[in-house]
Amino acid sequence: MSSTPCCASPPLRAARPTAHDPTDARRHWADAAIVVVDASAAERCARAALPRRDGIALVTAANPPPHVWRLGLVVGAGSIVELPEGELWLVTAFTEATENAGPPGAVLAVVGGCGGAGASALAAATALRAARDGTRTLLLDCDPLGGGLDLMLGAEDVLGVRWPELSVVDGRIPAAALHEALPAMGDRGLSLLSCDRIGPGPTAGALRVVVEAGRRAGDIVVCDVPRQPGDAAAVVLSAADLTVLVVPADVRACAAAARVAADLTTRSPAVGLVVRGPSPGGLTPVEIARALDVPLLASMRPQHDLDRRLERGQPPADRGPLADTAATLLTELRDRSRLSRTGRSS
């Protein structure tokens, strides 16, 4: 690191404005979210009598001499970061500085009550709708046995990282870097992290890091979650502001969904139901919701062109029953996310 103070302030303007002398640094000193200095820069800042403030980090080589610790006290450094051991701390500090400026995002989990329920299509449609509404969005494929959301959306040849290539176990990653590495679905601010046809699916640790990166940056995070319980699925369900159970309106699907619903209500703080028609035996959405003991969020009519579009690798249409249901879920998600933030702050 150069012997110059570095002021980092939100948003990404703050990531790296570099000051070459204390006079230059004074312009950013008060409003920067974090200030990083080495020993030489700290000496000059102290001589310039820059005002005391929080969020100063003094970086140094390992085992610094006593005068470096004294400099930290003089300049008001809250942290003395010894490199290279302190690299992870420094990355985390920059991540927080650049991504904590606005309100947190919201996490939606979508789970099928049985095979072929249409959960993946609904997850994709909801993510597409969120991006069209102007919110940066992450679509996470959490089902390694699902064949890959990239294949369903016709993005299997789009360059970008899939779960087997994402080597993250713990810590934090900047959401901006994550979006840069992932396949982009058009130019609407939607990034896809898909399972592949070969290789492992997401681990619990990797899912935790990715979900929290999106939430921290204010993204909408939509997760296509397998109905079989597991450690990775449990991470998403516990983090979700809203979990949606998708159930076709027939007797066998409802019987299968009963066990899934019972499991979800123990793992997720808020569970809602989407019933997908048609109903060959006349079961109504209200009856299904009552039988599963899950609040009904929406009932969805059949969409005649959906299977054909997905078979051709085309995203779900912008209009129709699926898009309408996606809009309903996003409204519910945002309402629940605001309530959750209010509860945490009170």
Domain ranges of the chain: 6-99, 106-345
Q: What is the pLDDT along the chain (346 residues), one digit of tens a residue?
A: 344 444 443 333 334 456 666 777 787 787 777 889 899 888 888 888 888 888 888 999 999 999 899 888 888 888 899 988 888 788 777 777 766 667 889 999 999 999 999 999 999 999 999 999 999 999 999 999 999 999 999 999 999 999 999 877 677 788 888 999 999 987 778 999 999 999 899 999 999 999 999 998 999 999 999 998 799 999 999 999 999 999 999 999 999 999 999 999 999 999 999 999 989 999 999 999 999 999 999 999 988 777 777 787 777 777 889 999 999 999 999 998 876 655 544 4
Name the nearest CA neighbour of 118 among 321, 335, 318.
321
Pick one of 3.40.50, 1.10.3470, 3.30.420, 3.40.1000 as the CATH number of 6-99. 3.40.50
Are 54 and 77 contacting, i.e. CB atoms less than 8 angstroms apart? no
pLDDT at residue number 264: 96
pLDDT at residue number 2: 42
Name the nearest CA neighbour of 33 among 78, 86, 97.
97
SS3 138: strand
pLDDT at residue number 27: 78
Q: State the Cα angle at 65 between 60 and 68, rounded to 5°.
A: 55
pTM: 0.76
Quick one: 106-345 is in which CATH superfamily? P-loop containing nucleotide triphosphate hydrolases (3.40.50.300)
Do the domains spanning 6-99 and 106-345 agree at the CATH topology level?
yes
pLDDT at residue number 55: 82
pLDDT at residue number 59: 93
Helix axes 231-239, 204-216, angle to 10 degrees: 20
Alpha-carbon 296 to chain mean position: 25
Question: Strands 34-37 and 6-8, how do they pair?
Answer: antiparallel
